[in-house]
Amino acid sequence: MGKYVVSPSTHPAPNGRFGASFSVQRSGGNGSYCRVFRFDKTFATAEAARIFAVTQGWLQSSMPKPPVC
């Protein structure tokens, strides 16, 4: 997604549902950037969690100045 590499991920939650996360990476020049975002929300299917992670990753990487957590 532009100058960033966004990697969505899903994982089984203890309640039988699925969690979502993604990482955003950028390297170049004199520095690099890597952040991992995990969400508390759970989803009925792994596909739903993956779509959520992809969407959130796209939103994060398309912001001119992403918020700092």
Residue 15, pLDDT above cutoff 90: yes
Q: What confidence score (pLDDT) does residue 48 get?
A: 97
Residue 69, pLDDT above cutoff 60: no
Contact 30, 11 (CB under 8 A): no
Q: Band of the pLDDT at 66, cuts 50, 70, 90? A: low
Tens of pLDDT, residue by residue over 29-39, are 677 778 899 99
Rounded distance between C-alpha atoms, residue 25 and residue 66, angstroms: 13
